[in-house]
Amino acid sequence: MSARIVPAAQFKAECLRLIDEMNETGEPVTITRRGKPVAVLSPFQPSPARALIGASRGVVTRYDEPFEPAADAGDWAAMS
């Protein structure tokens, strides 16, 4: 699938139409300025949804004293 090449001035004038065409065809649009590519507009590809339950499993590998404060009281500026 080749990208469509559009000058920046034309993209500015026809932006919404080009976006609609890109969504229909799935073809990316390369935007150029003075003949050099400056941006690529491509269709949005949603990432697969991850389950929230269990997503953090294995992140905390060890916590020696679960009932002790995580930081010393002297570490907080509000305590001084």
Residues 2-49 pLDDT 10s: 679 999 999 999 999 999 999 999 999 999 999 999 999 999 988 888
Strands 4-7 and 29-33 come out as parallel
Confidence band for 80, pLDDT divided at 50, 70 and 90: low
Give domain limits for the chain: 1-42
**Prediction pTM value:** 0.56
pLDDT value, residue 2: 62
User: Which letter, b or e, does each residue of 24-63 get, where b requires 16 or more Cβ atoms within 10 Å of its Cβ?
Assistant: eeeeebbbbeeeeeeeebeeeeeeeeeeeeeeeeeeeeee
Q: What is the CATH number of domain 1-42?
A: 3.40.1620.10
Tokens 């990316």, residue located: 28
* Structure tokens belonging to residue 29: 């649009």
